[in-house]
Amino acid sequence: MKITALKQRLDKNRPMTAITIRMPEDVIEDLKRIAPLLGFSGYQPLIRTYIGQGLRADLERLEGDTVAALIASLKRHGVSDEVLREALLEATKR
């Protein structure tokens, strides 16, 4: 994830949108019970955290898959491992 996108994600004052989601009552009760034990002010911030964690994991996995596919393609086109290493080091130093 790019640095600017990460900074936006960490901004506590970024715009929010209200949604409606149907969930089993027992799940909501469990969330309400567990949220304060984990230091959350309520179950909704806990749900947002769970969604955010899953989303970040999937984005990292999917973006990582893209990078791996690009590296494999560049190797097939004759780009050396040394050039790929240097490019990756340069790209991650930002």
| pLDDT tens column, 18-70 | 999 999 999 999 999 999 999 999 999 999 999 989 998 888 888 877 878 88
Q: Which of 63, 28, 58, 56 is nearest to 44 (CA)?
A: 28
3-state DSSP percent of the chain in helix, strand and coil, to 5:
70, 0, 30
Residue 14 located in a structural domain: no
Q: How many domains does the chain have?
A: 1
Domain annotation covers residue 10:
no
Sheet strands (E) in 1-94: none
**What pTM was computed for the model?**
0.62
Amino acid at 74: L
**Is residue 7 assigned to a domain?**
no
Whole-angstrom distance, CA of residue 77 vs CA of residue 83: 12
Range of the domain at 77: 20-92
User: Of 30 and 92, which is predicted with more confidence?
Assistant: 30
